[in-house]
Structure 1
Amino acid sequence: MKPLLLLVFCLISLPVMFYLSEHRSMSSVVWLQGISVTLHQENSRTPNKQTDKFIGGLLSPSFDEESCLSRYRSALFRKDSPHLPSSYLIERLRKYEELHKKCGPNTPLYHKSIIQLNLGQSIELMDCNYLVWTPFNGLGNRMLTIASAFLYAVLTNRVLLIHQTVDMVDLFCEPFPDSTWILPPDFPIKNLTKLYQGSETSYGNMLKNKRIKDDVSVPSNSLPAYVYLHLEHDYQHLDKFFFCEKDQVILQKINWLLLQSDIYFVPGLFLVPQFEDELRWMFPAKETVFHHLGRYLFHPTNTVWGMITRYHTAYLAGSDERIGIQVRVFSRNPISAENYLKQILMCSQQENLLPEINMNRTLNPTKSTMKSKAVLITSLYPEYSEKLKSMYYEHTTVTGETVSVNQPTHEVQQQTERQFHNQKALAEMYLLSYCDVLITTGWSTFGYIGQGLAGLKPWILLTPRDQKPADPPCTRAVSMEPCFQVPPTYDCRAKKNADLGALVRHVTHCEDVEQGIKLVD
């Protein structure tokens, strides 16, 4: 009888086993003759417990998880990225972490370098060389420039240190194991936030005034101990020589570089010949640079992570699809909230992102056919979410879907100098990055951060003209990379002005900024 019982058990179990294998996205318990089988939840609406929290080796496993909850948990709130980091990028990140640990603040080699800095001249073959980043402009700009500075530091074997002002405190966890990236407060060069285009120590001014000779054979001991790199939107012709190979040879001989920028200058690094091979090996898929570096560097502190998870759980997690709409109106292109909402709706309906409303109020779709969409709006102003919320509250949709509209904050004015404002801005960037679809505002670095972290190509709202909605209202991004909005126009190799968006296949013009350039595959 035992073989017969076993056969009966198997025949009964087979349908259940098949059901389990075919329905892994469900969450339930199946009982069979006293045996319970739990079906694992893998719905994209909730954190995916099977996601690799180290993101394919991008993140080091060397951290205490509780000290920075977002580091290993943030990836659980997104669908698995199809863009895995290359083995060479992972190798270079681990090597950089060792360099930072050896040369970072409070190490003997750091103190040795500070002594050299105080001597007032560069010394050839120092054990450690440094790039000091100082903040300028809004949080989105700052994050883009930190990522750019970090990539430059990796390419040139420098240690990146962050000048942390009070409005940057309690935003990001330390990204490098067993070492800090915060510049010590006793750093001998003061007034770092007072640097500007005309500063005497800027590289462009030193070239202009012959304090640095435009000659790759110049010895290190004739060079200053530090140079300021002015890479803001107003930089001048000589400042832009930073992107020339000959000037990079000179800069390599200077032990300390100070950097202030408000632009994502990564595409410019791809046009420097000496960096070409390293960048090709690190990023075989060119449009993944910020996607990888952003998720490697930027981990919200537990304070900010609490804001993110509480809001996500309360308003976004229960929906079938999440749509992020990032709205920014620039004073140079003013438009009323009513007209800009028209443009947003034109875009969303043209691309079938949001369902149309049904003017027949009697339509009442059955619950079995009803799907839900959660719209996340990030804006300084409440008008967009209020009007959209009213629209979907007062009318059913032609598809029968339910639409909830949510907006975490409406600060009215950007207040970059306030820490709490920056914490809320960072939380909203991350909430955007957990959406399935994105509509972003052209020119906005806030939107660039969301799309890069998410690994999505957004629909970009084009610039309004004469206070009227743009026509067409939006366009799909050709890549998820941010735009280098103010690139140089000088071709260093040809020694003449040129269109840098047409020199190589993987650099093209941006959809939202005509003169800008971006990486593309």
Structure 2
Amino acid sequence: MSLFELNSCWQLHSCFYVMPFFFLLSLINALVGPETVYDQRSLVSDSSEWSLFEQSFPEKLREQFGSCKSIKDEGERGVCELLAATHTQASTAQGNGGSPEDPPTFTDSCPYRKEGGPDLYLHASQRTPHLQSLLDSYSRMHTRCVSSEYSKLKDIYLRKLTPECRYIVWSCTFGLGNRLMSLISTFLYAILSQRVLLVENAEWESLFCEPFLGSSWIVPAGFSLKDDESPSFAQFYDLGCGSDTQRHPECSSNVLSVVFSGTTKSSEHRFLVCPSAIASVRNVAILNFQNSNQHFAVGFFLNPVLRPVLETLFPKHNVFHLLSHFLLNPTRPVWEKVKNFHAMHLLNSTRRIGVQLRESKGEYRDYYDMASPLCIKSKSGLCPIELAEAKERMKKDPNFVASNSQDYISVYVSSLAGDHFTQLNTSMRKIEQETGQQFRIFTQGSDGEQLEDVGHLQKALLDIWMLSLSDVLMTSHMSTFGYTAQGLAGITPYHLKPWPDNPCWLSVSSDPCFHFGPKKVRCPKDKFTMRNPLKEVNYMCSCPDLPNTGLQLAES
């Protein structure tokens, strides 16, 4: 974590560092009873009170864990077990035959990947070898499971067939930003639990290429869980299901519903936080992630069993960034527009600024027109030496900006209200005269309201992608649209606010905010209570734009 991030979190009362008062912790533990007062440095595997990480895997997937036992580092040992379990799951799926280690032989038909779309990201982070190995192994597992059971998913749902693999069906009817945050979070859980991720959204194939070559991530035709009324995870967990001693009828459910939204209760947050939660659902064939609209991936870092593994896979805590660049690849119609916009406006610019102004109903709020140019002027990295030289030349030649300057700064504007583009364009002409810099402002146009047909969703995706190619990003308060752009970009954004003396502030991370995260969660089965997430994890912060309920991972 950088010094700036530390200072920002401290000022927001968001991040706190656990001091090594082991005696005091022991005393508190004795006073409050049998529940564990968790210190993040304690080794879960050394305590009999904690569910071991390996217990989260179905028994048939633990065959190759022996070679991992000698690894001392807890996180690396967990990753070793993840890889072994994923490999074993791929082996048990018959698929097309052959070894699960066989290299892919499928032709990539996605133009975005083939034509270097990912290479446009100048600030992208590289995946760790651990994460890359796990994604490769997961892809083989996904392909083999789909090849083996894809056409039989309805029979699995109706309990007519015992599956070889386990599944997650994801669907969401919220806005595109919410959908992408929810999908990436669900994908993280799919990786951690060796489950095949399938998407139930009719328009998804018009937005994104197939991420798993030679396979499919779209639910089979004629299959749907949108009207499924299976029990929720909380109901299942409260009944003690998942253990061999329970025989309640609902414990035999083949499908469980999992939802994270603004109304999710702490009983459902146990899915994220409680060590025994992932183990309790390990034998459930299908998890139905329906209408989750949050970046709930943040919550898994509050789980003391999962945390060491997640820290090994994501040492910078940029979960959305690393997973989105694997899973999300725009289809040809979107990619062609991204490519053309980039060549015309971004390729030759000296700096790229993205401005995203959230107007959910197309309503026009003029305070953005004051904040945006002030933030650009003060936070876009204009070099003082260059500015001084430009002003000297302007004294000699008032037309210096218009006639002589070959360099320019591009500004991409995304908003449902078109008046913002007009106003910002006017404001930037004044700033050009003040700074000697040349700005070129562009947009793809404004629809006036949020629409959900394929054409408008593709336009929204183009907006997200163009914003994500920025060097400097300025976004609206609480905007999930902006969150996804910053996550793709891998850069920490500035949040705009209507104060002339301080028009924007730097956030703490490129990873999106979990708007309605866990606060206090009791895990009686694990003898553990998470009382305050900000004290459990030293890089967990309150969201700067929603501090009362939001949680965010600060990057290191």
Shorter chain as normaliser: what TM range?
A: 0.7 to 0.9
Instruction: Determine which of 196, 204, 207 is the counterpart of 1:159.
Output: 196
Structure with the greater alpha carbon radius of gyration: 1
Tell me, in whole angstroms, the C-alpha distance in 2 between the residues paired with 1:163 and 1:268. 24
Contact 2:113 2:329 in 1 (8 A): yes
Aligned counterpart, 1:509: 542
Q: 2:537 corresponds to which letter in structure 1?
A: V
Do the aligned partners of 1:161 and 1:182 also contact (CA within 8 Å) in 2? yes
Tell me the residue number matched to 1:43. Answer: none
Paired with 2:246 and 2:506, the residues of 1 have a C-alpha distance of 48
Match of 2:311 among 265, 280, 283: 280
Which deviations, in whole Å up to 9, do the C-alpha atoms of 1:363-413 show, x marking residues without a partner? 211755553111100111111110121234477423322111111120111
Q: Which moved more, 1:257-266 or 1:495-504?
A: 495-504
**Residue in 2 aligned with 1:379?**
415
**Distance in structure 1 (CA, Å) of the matches to 2:398 and 2:507:** 36
Letter in 2 for 1:426: L
Superposed counterparts of 1:392-403, under 5 Å: 392-393=428-429, 396-403=432-439
Is 1:518 the counterpart of 2:548? The answer is no
- How far residue 254 of structure 1 moved from its aligned partner, in angstroms, is 0.8
- What is the distance in 2 between the residues matched to 1:384 and 1:223? 55
Q: Distance in 2 between matches of 1:443 and 1:236?
A: 21
Pick aligned residue for 1:490 from 511, 520, 538 = 520
Out of 146, 150, 174, the position equivalent to 1:137 is 174
Structure 1 residue ranges without an equivalent (≥5)? 1-59
1:113 and 1:370 map into 2 onto residues whose CA distance is 59
The offset of 1:322, in angstroms, is 1.3
Cα distance in 2, alignment partners of residues 503 and 396 from structure 1: 47
The aligned counterpart of 1:320 is 350
| Structure 1 stretch displaced more, 142-151 or 222-231 | 222-231
SS where residue 513 of structure 2 aligns? coil
Local SS of the residue matching 1:337: coil
How many angstroms apart in 2 are the aligned matches of 1:349 and 1:216?
63
User: Which of 137, 142, 150 is the matching residue for 2:187?
Assistant: 150
Specify the alignment match of 1:73 in structure 2. Answer: 116
Q: 2:464 aligned with 1:429, yes or no?
A: yes
1:182 to 218, 222, 228: 218
Q: How does 1:229-308 map to 2 (within 5 A)?
A: 229-243=258-272, 244-260=274-290, 261-286=292-317, 288-308=318-338
Give the TM-score normalised by structure 1.
Answer: 0.76
The 5 Å alignment of 1:30-69 reads: 64-69=107-112
Amino acid at match of 1:97: S
1:439 aligns with 2:483: no
Asked whether the 8 Å contact 1:65–1:72 carries over to 2, the reply is no
The alignment-based identity, stated in percent, is 28
Question: What is the aligned partner in structure 2 of residue 350 from structure 1?
Answer: 378
**Superposed CA offset, 1:409-452 (max 9, x none):** 2011111x211111011111111111111111121111111111
The aligned counterpart of 1:340 is 368
With over 3 angstroms needed to count, the CA separation of the structure-2 counterparts of 1:111 and 1:77, relative to structure 1, is closer
CA contact (8 A) 1:120 1:225 kept: no
Q: Give the structure 2 partner of residue 91 of structure 1.
A: 133
- Kept in 1: contact 2:375–2:504 (CA 8 A): yes
Partner SS for 1:322: strand
Letter in 2 for 1:226: V
1:177-199 CA-to-partner distances (Å, cap 9, x unmatched) read: 21100001222x54x1x57xxx5
Q: Counterpart of 1:159 in 2: which secondary structure? A: strand
Q: Flag structure 2 segments of 5+ consecutive residues without an equivalent.
A: 1-102
Q: Say which SS state the counterpart of residue 306 (structure 2) adopts.
A: helix
- Secondary structure, aligned partner of 2:366: helix
Give the structure with the larger helix fraction: 2
- Deviation at residue 300 of structure 1 after TM alignment: 0.4
Name the counterpart of 2:72. Answer: none
SS at match of 1:279: helix
Instruction: Quickly say closer, same or farther: Cα 1:470–1:163, change in 2 above 3 A.
Output: farther
Change (3 A) 1:396 1:511: closer
Distance 2:376 2:432 in 1: 17
Shift of 1:361: 13
Mapped partners of 1:115, 1:200: distance in 2 = 16
Letter in 1 for 2:148: P
Is residue 449 of structure 1 aligned with residue 484 of structure 2? yes
Give the deviation of 1:302 after TM superposition: 0.6
Structure 1 pair 182–402 and aligned structure 2 pair: CA distance change class (3 A): same
CA contact (8 A) 2:108 2:213 kept: no
Q: What CA distance in whole angstroms lies between the structure 1 residues aligned with 2:380 and 2:257?
A: 48
1:115 aligns with 2:155: yes
Output the CA distance in 2 between the equivalents of 1:304 and 1:361: 46
The letter for the 2-side match of 1:483 is C
CA–CA distance in 2 between the matches of 1:220 and 1:292? 41
Is the alpha carbon distance of 1:418 and 1:354 closer, same or farther for their aligned partners in structure 2, counting shifts above 3 Å?
A: farther
Distance 1:361 1:419 in 2: 53
Counterpart Cα distance in 2 of 1:242 and 1:383: 44
Query: How far, CA to CA, are the matches of 1:205 and 1:351 in structure 2?
Result: 49
Asked whether the equivalents of residues 123 and 489 of structure 2 are also in contact (C-alpha less than 8 Å), the reply is no
| Alignment partners' CA distance in 2, 1:361 and 1:259 | 64
Q: CA RMSD in A?
A: 3.1
The code of the aligned residue for 1:236 comes to K
Offset at residue 338 of structure 1 (A): 2.4
Secondary structure of 2:458's aligned partner: helix
Q: What is the distance in 2 between the residues matched to 1:246 and 1:76? A: 41
What SS does the corresponding residue of 1:509 show, helix, strand or coil? strand
TM-aligned CA distance change 1:497 to 1:80, over 3 Å: closer
With over 3 angstroms needed to count, the CA separation of the structure-2 counterparts of 1:471 and 1:149, relative to structure 1, is farther
Inter-partner Cα distance in structure 1 for 2:490 and 2:378: 23
